[in-house]
Structure 1
Amino acid sequence: MEIDEDSLCEDSGNETSGDDVDFNVEVESTAKDPQPYDDEYQYEVLSTSDIVQYMSDIIDEVNNVVQLPPTTTRILLNYFNWDKEKLMERFFDGDQDELFKEANVINPFKSLPHATRPKFSLKIKGTEECDICFMVCAPAHMTGLECGHRFCYQCWNEYLTTKVVEEGVGQTIACPALNCPILVDDETVMRLVKDSRVKIKYQHLITNSFIECNRLLRWCPSPDCNYAVKVSYVDAKPVTCICTHVFCFSCGENWHDPVKCSLLKKWIKKCDDDSETSNWISANTKECPKCGATIEKDGGCNHMVCKNQNCKADFCWVCLGSWEPHGSSWYNCNKYDEDEAKAARDAQERSRAALQRYLFYCNRYMNHMQSLKFEHKLYSSVKDKMEEMQQHNMSWIEVQFLKKAVDILCKCRQTLMYTYVFAYYLKKNNQSVIFEDNQKDLERATELLSEYLERDITQENLVDIKQKVQDKYRYCDGRRKALLDHVHEGYEKDWWVCKEA
């Protein structure tokens, strides 16, 4: 059964094409040479065809030893997260029957006893009954797996299509029979599914599962990019995709030097939880003086009762002191009582200070993120400026300094953005002071470079602007590297102490 070429052209997902279900297909490699960010970390960018070939190579390598059907080998490899060493160790050193049972496949070295086959799979007067639609069909219109459960072709097609398209299941499609865990192999899926688009979707799911299971592979997170990156070992290092997107292989986020993946994950979660409401909280709420729970005043009465079930504190919204004396002759909320409200005010101030500190770093982080988006738009305007310079008797090579300036500007913006995440979790010490000085110097130079690049170019200021831009982007690049070198040295020498925030 062939796949319609037109349907392949229309599909733009991360999938393979064709009916070569054992993935032993000859494909033309489009893998690009490794593009290391530095000489230490080698990686390779793979197209979807390269990924299929890589899967085929692993399956062939294992099959040369275990001698299993390719689709069975693929299911077993997926069970072991594509760790071929673990699979072969278990295959030869363990109980093979138990292995196949755990992986939900029939042991190909043993035939299923006839007595265990379902009764409805036996021929009754030359016909069989499908246990899904209960139609009585000729045996030629029925098929099934090695488990012995047989259904009509129409029911198989509808079942597999539903699993693939609606449920998005590829690796773990089980036999339709009740309580049968045996997995449907690739060959059966490709043979029984009629729609070529469903076949492509199925192969996409298999390929995607392969990438997600294999710790040495990661899809490029850039939207609409169909490439993956393959490394020899996992590390928090930058990798550059064919689409030019640079990301951290360890966590998949945009490259975030100098902050580590664990802190960035905490920061992103905190921003998602806090940034949209923090300003409103700061202006409209107070914290319970006893347990610190955030409370909103929704009525005119100043008598507050904390709704925390473990607290239930009664206090005054105005002075944050205990409510008990407010209804008696001891009422003195109109007077400033340092002794009674000091603890409540201190707790309130600590909470407010923590919020203000978060807002300080968050606003600067978001500001650089927004500026970075605008700087990326500079590429189009820089192209126009480069053309204008060429009209002023400058060669194509001579005007390339503008593009390099924008490249460095974007790198500086991105580095500065993540320095505020690093600084938020950093405890103060002598080295942190040096870090902040480096940060300040880079930020000041970056803003000046951005200003230069946004000026109008005229015949009169052409030479002056070129010299200033070149001097400034070289300075910015040097200060960026100096800042990062200092942070990396601090990691190596344990200068940095991070705090919970």
Structure 2
Amino acid sequence: MDSDEESFGKSDSGHNSPTDDEDDFPMEMDQPPVKEKAMETDEYPYETLTTENIVQTMIDCIDDINSVLNLPKTTTRILLNHFKWDKEKLLERYFESNQEKFFRDAHVVNPFNKPKLKNKPKVPSSGLEECEICLSTFPPNMMTGLECGHRFCTNCWGEYLTTKIMEEGLGQTIACAAHNCDILVDDVTVTKLVPDLRVKVKYQLLITNSFVECNRLLRWCPSVDCTCAIKVQYVEYRPVQCRCGHIFCFQCGENWHDPVQCRILKKWIKKCDDDSETSNWIAANTKECPNCNVTIEKNGGCNHMVCKNQSCKYDFCWVCLGPWEPHGSSWYNCNRYDEDEAKAARDAQERLRSSLARYLHYYNRYMNHMQSLKFEHKLYASVKEKMEEMQQHNMSWIEVQFLKKAVDILCQCRQTLMYTYVFAYYLKKNNQLLIFEDNQKDLESATETLSEYLERDITSENLADIKQKVQDKYR
């Protein structure tokens, strides 16, 4: 298949389908094939980061900026988040744009020009300050606020921040509690004013998650319960493997889907998830009442239809959709064949049926390999037992590892086959597709044979034969 992929890149877009639906058949192989990229560089440089590594990476980014700008660290973090942790873009905007606008757009107070609050808090003669949230008075040491100057009691601040963090899931974008003030709360203020350790931990997780989500060179591992992230030097359609063992595409985050490009896979997933094919089935197997347009499926041989819609009850002919009453008259033309009208109706119906049949052909095979892949993962348990059994037949632990390697390769083949049906669905019908399908057939045949070998009972008599066949096939 390697030699054919370059020619796919030069093929025309689309597919000569009966529907001529560009949304359904838009294949245009305009990205370089994965194997060509692999030839350019043997390794795709990336590293796995734990939560501690991620926090340290954040700190390093902040220190890099502060070595140039010398700003408060909390302000720097908010600025970096505003620019999606793009250090070069932040520095460029800082030196090129109006400084006051630069800080205002990021919703932070300019540390070089802190404004004075126009409406200063009222301080009664008793020396107490009034909190504008709970309207109670407190000593100045129980009141606090941000650089914008708005001050509230520590209890109201704590409740406000706890609600924003725990109920609204906000971290980087918590604004001042004052009405119409969009200055963001910094992390030092949050840590100081939130008393509950559980809320502080949640806030730290939100900050960390926002850092990864905003940074185009970072992506969380999508595996369940994994808290690691992958860091790359440049974004590309390439597989990465987390330390938990999960392999996924860094560009889109889906399971590794070679040979399908990310944009095509996204289109396929959307096609499978929405109701477009349900609509196709309805159009191919049902008709609408000519009076009220309710969809009706025929479930008997009689062509005299009565609409079940209680407000309609219209009598019509299933064949011609005309009113049923004149069908007994000698002058009515239901039996007369109108070439043009019949051809148009037949062609429309056939296009829908053909489109649905084609989609189901690829979808069923895609789902079949997905289901088989789940079974192959369960095969590891039975293979482990076989490996232990083989060690009892005077084979060393190293000698029986070929079985585990065979299951690894079998799972990889199943996953590849699964995505080849997505790839084929969007390909233009030409000689390249025929070559691709021949390669697909060979891989399918070899995969099924390997799967059969691994599911056989291993005895001392057939041990040598099974090992040889398994090794030959997975090679």
User: What residue number does 2:367 align with?
Assistant: 366
Structure 1 match to 2:395: 394
The alignment status of 1:323 with 2:326, answered yes or no, reads: no
Asked if 1 retains the 8 angstrom alpha-carbon contact of 2:123 and 2:130, the reply is no
Q: 1:208 to 1:466 in 2, by over 3 A?
A: same
What is the SS of the residue equivalent to 2:230? Answer: strand
Separation (CA, whole Å) in 2 of partners of 1:391 and 1:82: 57
Q: Structure 1 residues 192, 333: CA separation in 2 closer, same or farther (over 3 Å shift)?
A: same
Letter matched to residue 199 of structure 1:
K
TM-score, normalised to structure 2, is 0.83
Structure 2 match to 1:418: 419
Match of 1:41 in 2: 44
Distance in 2 between the 1:427 and 1:316 partners? 43
Consecutive unaligned residues of structure 1, counting only runs of 5 or more, are 1-35, 305-313, 475-501
Q: Does 1:462 align with 2:463?
A: yes
Report the equivalent of 2:31. none
| Residues 358, 287 of structure 1: alpha-carbon distance in 2 compared, 3 angstrom cutoff | farther
| Aligned-partner Cα distance in 2 for 1:429–1:447 | 27
Q: CA deviation at 1:137?
A: 1.1
1:464 Cα offset (Å):
1.2
Question: 1:432/1:151 Cα in 2 relative to 1: closer, same or farther (>3 Å)?
Answer: same
The equivalent of 2:3 in structure 1 is none
Looking at structure 1, the residues matched to 444 and 337 of structure 2 have their Cα atoms a distance apart, in angstroms, of 44
Alpha carbons 2:277, 2:356 under 8 Å: kept: no
Matched, 1:104 2:107: yes
CA distance in 1, matches of 2:107, 2:57: 24
CA gap of 1:443–1:282, structure 2 versus 1, over 3 A, is farther
Q: Is the 8 A contact 2:280 2:353 kept in 1?
A: no
1:123–1:447 CA distance, 2 compared to 1 (3 A)? farther
Give the corresponding residue for 1:239: 240
Partner of 2:83: 80
Tell me which amino acid in the other structure corresponds to 1:93.
E
Matches within 5 A, 1:479-494: none
Partner of 1:230: 231
Per the alignment, residue 71 of structure 2 pairs with 68
Residue 147 of structure 1: how far off its partner (Å)? 1.1
**Counterpart residue identity of residue 214, structure 1:** N
Q: What is the CA–CA distance in structure 1 between the aligned matches of 2:340 and 2:97, rounded to whole Å?
A: 73
Q: Counterpart in 2 of 1:128?
A: 129
Alignment of 1:137 with 2:131, yes or no, is: no
- Give 1:208 deviation, angstroms: 0.6
Note closer, same or farther for the CA distance 1:128–1:418 as it changes in structure 2 (3 Å cut). same
Instruction: Please provide the CA RMSD for this pair.
Output: 2.8
SS at structure 2 position matched to 1:44: strand
Secondary structure of the 2:271 match is: helix
Q: Work out whether 1:379 is the aligned partner of 2:380.
A: yes
8 Å contact from structure 2 (residues 158, 195) kept in 1: yes
Q: How much has 1:255 moved relative to structure 2? A: 0.4
Partner of 1:22: none
CA contact under 8 A between 2:219 and 2:250: conserved in structure 1?
yes
- Go from structure 1 to structure 2 and tell me whether the alpha carbon gap of 1:467 and 1:41 turns closer, same or farther (over 3 Å shift): same
Give, in whole Å, the separation in 2 of the partners of 1:338 and 1:326.
24
| Structure 1 residues 244 and 296: alpha-carbon distance in aligned structure 2, compared to 1, 3 A threshold | farther
Provide Cα deviations, 1:329-362, integer angstroms capped at 9, x if missing partner. Answer: 4534456665542210111011011001101100
2:304 touches 2:316 (CA, 8 Å); kept in 1?
no
Deviation track 1:23-54 (CA, whole Å, cap 9, x = no partner) reads: xxxxxxxxxxxxx9972411111111101111
- Whole-Å separation in 2 of the counterparts to 1:71 and 1:301: 76
Show the counterpart of 1:217.
Answer: 218
Structure 1 pair 282–94 and aligned structure 2 pair: CA distance change class (3 A): closer
Shift of 1:251: 0.5
Change (3 A) 1:452 1:127: same
Q: Secondary structure at the match of 2:223?
A: coil
Shift of 1:86: 1.3
- Contact 1:45/1:242 (8 A) holds in 2: yes
Does the CA-based 8 Å contact 1:117-1:148 persist in structure 2? no
Alignment partner, residue 92 of structure 1: 95
Letter in 1 for 2:114: S
**Cα distance between partner residues in 1 of 2:243 and 2:464:** 35
Secondary structure of the 2:274 match is helix
- Name the SS for the 1:143 alignment partner: strand
Q: Deviations over 1:36-93 (max 9, x none)?
A: 9972411111111101111100100000111100000000111111111111111122
Give the letter aligned to residue 239 of structure 2: P
Identity %: 70
Compared CA separation, residues 119 and 235, structure 1 to 2 (3 A): same
Q: In 2, Cα distance between the equivalents of 1:204 and 1:346?
A: 58
Letter in 1 for 2:318: V
C-alpha separation between the residues in 2 aligned to 1:121 and 1:408?
A: 74
Shift of residue 285, structure 1, vs aligned partner: 2.7
Residue 462 of structure 1 aligns with an amino acid whose one-letter code is L
User: Using a 3 Å threshold, how does the CA distance of structure 1 residues 370 and 419 change in structure 2: closer, same or farther?
Assistant: same
Q: Note if contact 2:143-2:154 (Cα within 8 Å) is conserved in structure 1.
A: yes
Q: Could you tell me which of 57, 62, 72 is aligned with 1:59?
A: 62
Matches within 5 A, 1:184-263: 184-263=185-264
2:144 counterpart SS class:
strand
Higher RCO structure, 1 or 2 (CA under 8 Å, sep 6+): 2
State the secondary structure of the residue aligned to 1:465: helix
Is the Cα contact below 8 Å between 1:123 and 1:139 reproduced in 2? Answer: no
Aligned residues: 425
CA spacing shift, 1:200–1:294, aligned 2, 3 Å:
farther
Q: Are the structure 2 counterparts of residues 245 and 296 from structure 1 closer, same or farther at C-alpha, using a change threshold of 3 Å?
A: farther
Q: CA, structure 1 residues 394+352, in 2 after alignment: closer, same or farther (shift >3 Å)?
A: same
- Post-superposition CA distance 1:150-170 (Å, at most 9, x none): 111111111000000100000
* Displacement of 1:316: 6.9
Native 8 Å contact 2:284 2:353 kept in 1? no
- What SS does structure 2 have at the residue aligned with 1:419? helix
Whether the aligned pair in 1 keeps the contact of 2:258 and 2:419 (CA below 8 Å) is yes
Counterpart of 1:323 in structure 2: which amino acid?
G
Secondary structure in 2 matching 1:120: coil
> Does structure 2 retain, via aligned residues, the 8 Å contact 1:81–1:214?
yes
Contact 1:121 1:150 in 2 (8 A): no
Aligned residue type for 1:217: L
The TM-score with structure 1 as length reference comes to 0.79
Q: 1:433: which partner in 2?
A: 434
* Residues in 1 aligned to 2:289 and 2:417: alpha-carbon distance in whole angstroms: 37
Return the alpha-carbon distance in structure 2 between the equivalents of residues 60 and 322 of structure 1: 75
* Alignment partners' CA distance in 2, 1:406 and 1:261: 27
Say if 2:144 and 2:153, in contact at 8 Å, map to a contact too: yes
CA contact (8 A) 1:118 1:148 kept: no
